[in-house]
A and B are shown apart, each in its own frame.
Chain A
Amino acid sequence: MDAAHLLPLLGVLLVILPLLRNSEAEPASTSSAILYLFGVWFGLVLLSAMFSRLLKEQNLLKEQKELDQEQGDAP
């Protein structure tokens, strides 16, 4: 859950990264920039999908636990 909170910060960092490039360095080719950006993008999608799966399972687990508890409380 906490890691999922950090995901957008990682995303911001990665998409802002090209700005920090030293302007005197040899400019990267556009094709590699495309590969980089879409790579980052796809990575974010994958991580997000993973977290959403995890969260879903966690929620199910929690609901199940609550259910068990309710049943346990009943005489």
Chain B
Amino acid sequence: MGKTVLLIEDEPNIIEAVRFILSRDGWRVETHSDGATAMSAIQKIKPDVVILDVMLPNRSGFDILQELRSAEETEALPVLMLTARGQTKDRELAEHYGASRFMTKPFANSDVLNCVRELAGP
């Protein structure tokens, strides 16, 4: 295996939980918690899957997603959006901007794991 997941999220406890869940399954987990510099982190790490929170400091997750989709090399990058706001409007926005998957907090650990596995593909 050895595939890489980049988690962009600012709550330390949530980072720790996701890292625990994924790394036990054999994923390499990188994290980043600032919205403004998230793009360069993605370009540097070149992850196989990105988990992206919506409410990030300095820059919204939707904004980052939009930029990802407009660049050629990250156009097809699998992105799992996470949000704590839980409004239907957020789901619509996520679809509109081209998120691969969308998930509301709090989530079941197994759902996250399965989702990442699916997104990473065979």
- The answer to whether A and B touch in the complex, with CB atoms under 8 Å apart, is no
A interface list, Cβ under 8 A from B = none
